[in-house]
Amino acid sequence: QVQVLESGGGVVQPGRSLRLSCVASGFTFSSYDMHWVRQAPGKGLEWMAVISYDGSNQFYADSVKGRFTISRDSSKNTLYLQMNSLRAEDTAVYYCAKEGGSFGGSYPFDYWGQGTLVTVSS
Amino acid sequence: EIVMTQSPATLSVSPGERATLSCRASQSVGSNLAWYQQKPGQAPRLLIYGASTRATGISARFSGSRSGTEFTLTISSLQSEDFAVYYCQQYNNWPPYTFGQGTKLEIK
C-alpha cells in the first residue's frame, strides 16, 4: 500500500537550518510530483513546495521562496525539504504529499504522511 | 493567487442530519477542486476531487457539486466519525496551490 513517512523535525533556533525527509513506498516514486504542505498550530493548511516527478522543476510558496529547497532522490524513494534561515512563523507540522496523477498535470494530493513537527524557538 | 473562501467557519449539526459546506473560488478553477477531511492529530484525507468524484474508499454519504466558482460538499446522515475539519483546495492554477481556511463540523 502507498505510504509516505516524514522525519527530521525538531526544535531549532531562529536563523538556523533543518532538513526534512519523506520516504515513499508502495508506488513508483519517480512517476509522481511530490509536495510539502505545512500546518501551523491550530491553523489551516498551507502549500509550501512541489517538485516534478523527474526533479527538473520546483515551485515554491512566496513565504518560503529563497529560503526553502525541495529535492528528491529517486534511487532512495525520498523527498527532501531543506529549510534555511528559519523563523518563528515557520513553526508547523510539515506534511509530505503525493500527487494523485502521474507525470505532472493538475491533480489533488491523494496520500499524505503523518507529518513532522518543526518548532522554531530560541 | 486564487483565494478559496469557505463558509461557515463552524457548523453544528446533529448526528443523522445533513451537513452542507461551501467553498468559493476568487476566480475560475474549472472543476479542479478537492475536499479533504482532517481529524485532530491526523493528516488530511482526500475525500472528493474533480469537484464531484469520490476518492477511493470514501463513503457515498459524501458528495460534491459545483456551480461556477461555488462548490459544495454535502454529507448526508452524519455519523460520529464525520465530525472533523474540512478543507477545499484548488489545483487548477498553480503555483500556489491554495486551500480554504477550513470548516469545523461539530456535533450539535
Each residue's pLDDT, cut to its tens digit, for chain A (122 residues) gives 999 999 999 999 999 999 999 999 999 999 999 999 999 999 999 999 999 999 999 999 999 999 999 999 999 999 999 999 999 999 999 999 999 988 888 999 999 999 999 999 99
Residues whose CB is less than 8 angstroms from the CB of residue A105 and which lie 6 or more positions away in sequence, other chains included: none
CA distances from B46 to A73, B18, B62, B103 (A): 26, 20, 11, 15
Q: Which of A44, A62, A110 sits opposite B99 (nearest CB)?
A: A44
Given CB atoms, is B32 within the 8 Å cutoff of chain A? Answer: yes
Q: Are A52 and A68 in contact (CB under 8 A)?
A: no
Q: What is the pLDDT of residue A103?
A: 86
Distance from the Cα of A48 to chain B's closest Cα (Å) equals 8
Q: Nearest CA to B76 among B22, B18, B20?
A: B18
Q: Which of A45, A60, A111 sits opposite B99 (nearest CB)?
A: A45
Q: What is the pLDDT of residue A102?
A: 85
Cell triple for residue A68?
Answer: 526553502
Spell out which residues of chain A touch residue B91, defining contact as CB-CB under 8 Å: 106-108
Q: What is the pLDDT of residue B61?
A: 97
Q: What is the pLDDT of residue A36?
A: 98
Q: B58 burial class (0-12, 13-18, 19+ CB within 10 angstroms)?
A: middle
CB contact under 8 A, B44 and A60: no
Residue of B91, B94, B99 to mutate, interface with A, max A Cβ within 10 Å: B91
CB contact under 8 A, B101 and A50: no
Give the C-alpha separation, B67 to B28, whole Å. 11
Which residue of chain B has the CA closest to A38?
B43
Which residue of chain A has the CA closest to B90?
A108
pLDDT tens across B32-63, in order? 999 999 999 999 999 999 999 999 999 999 99
Which residue of chain A has the CA closest to B49?
A108
Matching residue, cell 472533523? B84
DSSP A99: E
Matching residue, cell 517538485? A51
Q: Is A89 helix (H, G, I), strand (E, B) or coil?
A: helix
Q: What is the pLDDT of residue B60?
A: 97
Distance from the Cα of A108 to chain B's closest Cα (Å) equals 6
Given CB atoms, is B64 within the 8 Å cutoff of chain A? Answer: no
Q: What is the pLDDT of residue A105?
A: 86
Chains A, B: CB pairs < 8 Å:
60
What residue ranges in chain B does DSSP mark as E strands?
Answer: 4-7, 10-13, 19-25, 33-38, 45-49, 53-54, 62-67, 70-75, 85-90, 98-99, 103-107
Q: What is the pLDDT of residue A26?
A: 97
Q: Which parts of chain B sit beneath pLDDT 50?
A: none
**What letters, b where the CB count within 10 A reaches 16 and e where it falls short, cover A25-56?**
eebebeebbbbbbbbeeeeebbbbbbbbbeee
H/E segment holding residue A6? strand A3-7
